[in-house]
Amino acid sequence: MKTGNNVFISIDGETAMAATRTNSIRVGCRKIEVASMDQQDWEEVMPGRKNWQMTVTFLVTAVKPDDPRNPLNVGQFYTLFFMTRGSTTDKISGTALCTQCEITANRGNLCTGSITFTGSGPLT
């Protein structure tokens, strides 16, 4: 079983996004309701189009202008890799739109942030 320390999200396919605390990926499928002549009381569905989303939480540090951790970069596309540290084959990737960047700065605590990426096209 992989530990969270060994799984990370990367922009370039090699280096983990700096200071990340939690990396997650969610893959879903839309449902399409279908009619049935045999069943009027219960809903029946079939699979529709797939979708995916990646979320990263991180400690806020100095960021470069083109870094997705910079809140001004919401609306930019990135190629993301969800991968096992040290492996060149244990990874999935896809192009995603940075749809949200949130930074929380509480007095007396570490400054943290989170970024949400919404997939545009398939994961491979």
pLDDT of residue 58: 86
What is the mean predicted confidence (pLDDT) over 99-106?
90
The pTM score is 0.80
Sequential DSSP letters for 17-33: PTTEEEEEEEEEEEEEE
Which of 65, 66, 56, 64 is CA-nearest to residue 103? 56
Confidence band (pLDDT; 50, 70, 90) for 2?
low
- 62-86: pLDDT as tens digits: 777 778 888 888 999 999 888 877 7
DSSP annotation of 73 reads: G
Q: What is the pLDDT of residues 27-50, one digit of tens each?
A: 999 999 998 888 888 999 999 999
> 11-26 pLDDT, tens per residue?
877 677 777 878 888 9
The full set of domain ranges for the chain reads: 4-119
Which CATH number does 4-119 carry?
2.40.30
